[in-house]
Amino acid sequence: MVIELNRDNFGEEVLKSKEPVLVDFWGPQCKPCLALMPVVEGLEQNYTGRLKITKVNAAENRMLCAKLRVLGLPTFLIYKDGIEMKRLVGENITREELIGAINAVVT
């Protein structure tokens, strides 16, 4: 199940997570975000037990976005041991690019 994040649960779900975490920053008006949503949700099957998949609605969590320097959508952050390891930003992110970034972090 994809976990919805906000400023209240970000620390617990991401920074304190024992497994790597993919954070998908998206917006309801962002067409590239909506196009990638099925890809992100489909990752769960391939990374069960190896990657926690989370989402942040940027429109509802502006303070969290500002704190993490998320300036454009879509943005994907991959954390391991509470540290940001990878960041993908832009409307041209492909499924292959996202999976490659995940595989570089997930062991």
- Which one of the listed residues 33, 36, 56, 88 is annotated catalytic? 33
- Is residue 63 within a helix (H) or strand (E), and if so which, with residue range? helix 62-67
Q: Which residues of 41-66 are buried (b: 16+ CB within 10 A; e: fewer)?
A: eebeeebeeebbbbbbbbeebeebbe
Give the Cβ contact number of residue 104 at 10 Å.
11
- Which one of the listed residues 30, 77, 98, 102 is annotated catalytic? 30
How much of the chain is helix, strand and coil, in % rounded to 5? 40, 25, 35
Q: Is 33 a catalytic residue?
A: yes
Active site residues: 30, 33
